[in-house]
Amino acid sequence: MLRGNLVAGPKDESCAGPGEGHRGSVRQIGVCHIASGDRWAGAEAQLCTLLRFLARRKQYQLSVILLNDGRVAEEARRCGVEVKIIPERGKNFFQISREAMRFLRDKHVQILHSHRYKENLLAALLAWRCGIPFVVRTQHGSAEPFGGLKGLKQTTFQIMDRAVAKYATDRLISVSGELQEQLASYVDPGKVVLIHNGIDLEQVRSTLSVAEAKSRLGLPADGLVIGTAGRLEPVKRLDIFLAAANKIKMRSPGTRFVIVGEGAEQARLHALCRTYGLEDRLVFLPHRDDIYDVLRAFDIFVLCSDHEGLPMILLEALYLGVSVAARSVGGIAEVIQNGVNGVLLESGEADALAETLLSLLEDEMRRRRLALAGMNSAACRFSGERTAQAVASLYRSLCGSP
């Protein structure tokens, strides 16, 4: 174990199940994930995909503690994972931790696996109090910058989170090489493991034709569509997408645009849409449970973010056969080979994005070639089974299991 002085604290006997700590006497490896449950973004999608594949392995006894109810709980229950929901509203951190301890009381948990900074802190505390041998976390992306009081609060949590990573976490899973380098700058590099995100190849599918998918969105069935999907937050730089759309409409007036998602930038983006005169050419859609049918309608999928981990939506778009153009940030360059299975953009300028998209719009054969290569690369390199196999291997290495 690598948790320093934290492991020297008293074990809370109310948390310990029979045989706790004697891994050789426990046939299964008990793993409890800790995550936020009231949102649905890339991290949550990846967690549910991982749970789905791990649940098929009889070696693991899986449970999950969720801070709030939502789609994650539904997905976890669907694949047979025990779920404990602890609503955050009206509870402080220590009240949440006490409820979590009670849940863990009769569990033979050897590994706590957390997924965001608050859950990272909770996992470290629970491991210390309950005598759980190992703590793993997944780093899904870099912290998004904020200003003012929110920024000060974020900085404080980051300092605490880094301390927990350094002294109270046994392994850190990085979803990209860039994140791996960042983590290795303040923790022992030997604790950082690169495991790319993966998608469930059986789940990521649409029964619609491209023309049917476009018609369902009220778009011309024979028209060209450029779209993007994700949280409507500053880091996603959808202002670049809209500025590029404004330029494209002049030279390709039949092209339509789609933005899927919800978030803090929604009002500003709608205002920009009006400023650019795109109201009759751009469709805003809220969060969609049928996102694969929506993606099917796209001829080109675009990512303009300032930074990313390894976006699940990127892998999904590739596997669904959509041509991709994305800024070369985070783990995106580990997925996209420029000109082979997609197009990488080194610039964050709207002019550069517009020119790239126009060249793709004008070359259907190139789009088809990129799309086919994208499907193959997503299937071969970024499957959920492959990700789960790597995570399972990590769990076994910690617990000394073959």
What is the pLDDT at residue 321? Answer: 96
Residues 6+ positions from 374 with CB-CB distance below 8 Å: 317, 318, 319, 321, 322, 323, 324, 341, 342
- Can you name the CATH fold of 210-381? Rossmann fold (3.40.50)
- Which residue intervals of 263-311 are DSSP H helices? 266-275, 291-296
What is the pLDDT at residue 168? Answer: 94
pLDDT exceeding 90 applies to what percent of the chain? 80
Full-model pTM:
0.88
Q: Report yes or no: 217 and 323 within 8 Å, Cβ to Cβ.
A: no
Count Cβ atoms below 10 Å from residue 268 Cβ, excluding itself.
14
Query: What are 272's two structure tokens?
Result: 């920009």
d(C-alpha 297, C-alpha 226), whole Å: 9
d(C-alpha 102, C-alpha 85), whole Å: 12
Domain boundaries, the chain: 4-198+384-399, 210-381
- Can you name the CATH fold of 4-198+384-399? Rossmann fold (3.40.50)
- Residues 50-64: tens digit of each pLDDT: 999 999 998 999 999
- Residues 192-232: tens digit of each pLDDT: 999 999 999 999 999 999 999 999 999 999 999 999 999 99
d(C-alpha 111, C-alpha 393), whole Å: 13
Burial of 342 (0-12, 13-18, 19+ CB in 10 A): buried
Q: Do domains 4-198+384-399 and 210-381 have the same CATH topology?
A: yes
